[in-house]
């Protein structure tokens, strides 16, 4: 039996897309909140505006100090578009460009955004780095030298300061006397301080230093004055403390007291830590 042929005008071309069906007279509905691709969570919007971290933003939202289009919003998880008017403290917010600035901190500068005693702060050193408000990630003591990162990216700041992320830090330490082998081994095994046990990831004398009063130590703890307290516990005084490595960055080509912006590649690596 001969198969009937199908007329050409009835054949369906596979490469010809069908026209979408629209009901006559029915307008396409506007995307609801949460469906539009440009919507973000309100806590992220506040963090991107340089106000605070996401966790801190949640507290601000719950306290009723944030408004969207003139209305107070207290529900966590609320989403907002960049065309919306978001206000905090009477100020209309705009998403800031995210900035990442690396400083080689000198002595005599304290790590704070403001000091009631009018002492020199690290903010004075980076005040011309960008127009956005940036803040130091973590702290370095007034007389501690070395790498300090500034950013307005709340998520990155939170990740770099939380112990669970194990952010690598290396310090070059100058002691008032040679570190003995026994004390080196004791520090390597970990010691008990007044606020708990602490063990460095690595510790050794600095090669080619000429004496054993210079020590290199790697750790990820962010406890207050932790390096100085470790050596003071064993009767040593730290004469000079220099953070030479932080979160993948070194002081190469960055003189003391100077800063530089991270490259796009460095920012990408930082976010993947």
What ranges do the domains of the chain cover?
A: 40-92, 100-271
| 190 or 30, higher pLDDT | 190
- In whole numbers, what is the pLDDT of the chain averaged over residues? 85
pLDDT confidence tier of residue 93, bands split at 50, 70 and 90: confident
Rounded mean pLDDT, 199-225: 92
pLDDT at 38: 65
Q: Do domains 40-92 and 100-271 have the same CATH topology?
A: no
pLDDT at 54: 83
Burial class (CB in 10 A: 0-12, 13-18, 19+), 192: exposed
* Beta bridge pairs of residue 101: 150, 261
For the whole model, what pTM was predicted?
A: 0.70
pLDDT confidence tier of residue 20, bands split at 50, 70 and 90: very low
Among 270, 268, 255, 238, residue whose Cα is nearest residue 106: 255
- Give 63-92 pLDDT, tens digit per residue: 999 999 999 999 999 998 867 899 998 888
What is 40-92's CATH topology?
3.10.290
Q: Write out the DSSP string of 147-183.
A: EEEEES-HHHHHHHH-GGG---EEEEEEESSPPPHHH
Choosing from 48, 115, 141, 208, which is the catalytic residue? 141
Rounded mean pLDDT, 218-236: 93
Distance, CA of 152 to CA of 48 (rounded, Å): 7
| 272 or 251, higher pLDDT | 251
- Superfamily of domain 100-271 in CATH is Pseudouridine synthase (3.30.2350.10)
| 209 or 38, higher pLDDT | 209
Torsional sign, CA 158, 162, 166, 172: positive
Q: Is 123 a residue whose pLDDT tops 70?
A: yes
268 φ/ψ angles, rounded to the nearest 5 degrees: -60, -45
When mean pLDDT is compared across 83-87, 136-140, 149-153, the lowest value belongs to 83-87
- The separation between CA 94 and the C-alpha centre of its own chain, rounded to angstroms, equals 20
Return the SS3 of 132: coil
Q: Could you tell me if 54 and 155 are in contact, meaning their C-beta atoms sit under 8 angstroms apart?
A: yes
- Give 27-49 pLDDT, tens digit per residue: 433 433 334 446 888 998 888 77
Distance, CA of 85 to CA of 80 (rounded, Å): 9
Q: Is 147 a residue whose pLDDT tops 70?
A: yes
Q: How far is CA 33 from CA 27, 37, 39, 40, 136, in A?
A: 18, 10, 8, 10, 35
Q: Could you tell me if 219 and 226 are in contact, meaning their C-beta atoms sit under 8 angstroms apart?
A: yes
Q: Find where tokens 């106000």 sit.
A: 51
- The separation between CA 24 and the C-alpha centre of its own chain, rounded to angstroms, equals 52
Rounded mean pLDDT, 15-24: 39
pLDDT at 53: 80
| 245 or 4, higher pLDDT | 245
Task: Based on the residue annotation, tell me whether 141 is a catalytic residue of this protein.
Answer: yes
Among 132, 61, 74, residue whose Cα is nearest residue 98: 132
Distance, CA of 250 to CA of 263 (rounded, Å): 14
């Amino acid at each position: 039996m001969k198969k009937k042929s199908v007329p050409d005008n009835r054949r369906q071309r596979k490469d010809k897309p069908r026209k979408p069906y629209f009901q006559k007279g029915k307008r396409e509905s506007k995307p609801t909140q949460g469906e539009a691709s440009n919507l973000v969570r309100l806590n992220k919007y506040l963090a991107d505006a340089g106000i605070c971290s996401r966790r801190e933003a949640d507290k601000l939202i719950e306290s009723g100090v944030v408004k969207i289009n003139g209305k107070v919003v207290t529900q966590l998880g609320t989403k907002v578009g960049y065309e919306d008017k978001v206000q905090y403290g009477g100020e209309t917010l705009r998403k800031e460009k995210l900035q990442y600035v690396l400083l080689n901190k000198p002595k005599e500068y304290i790590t704070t955004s403001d000091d009631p005693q009018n002492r020199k702060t690290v903010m004075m050193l980076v005040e011309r780095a960008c127009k956005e408000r940036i803040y130091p990630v973590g702290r370095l003591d007034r007389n501690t030298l070395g790498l300090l990162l500034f950013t307005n990216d709340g998520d990155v700041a939170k990740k770099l300061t939380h112990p669970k992320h194990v952010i690598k830090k290396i310090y070059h330490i100058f002691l008032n006397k040679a570190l003995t082998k026994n004390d080196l081994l004791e520090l390597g095994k970990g010691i008990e301080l007044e606020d708990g046990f602490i063990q460095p990831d690595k510790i050794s004398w600095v090669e080619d230093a000429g004496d054993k009063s210079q020590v290199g130590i790697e750790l990820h703890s962010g406890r207050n004055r932790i390096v100085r307290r470790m050596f003071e516990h064993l009767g040593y005084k730290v004469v000079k403390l220099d953070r030479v490595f932080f979160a993948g960055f070194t002081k190469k080509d960055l003189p003391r007291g100077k800063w530089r912006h991270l490259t796009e590649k460095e920012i990408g690596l930082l976010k993947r830590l």
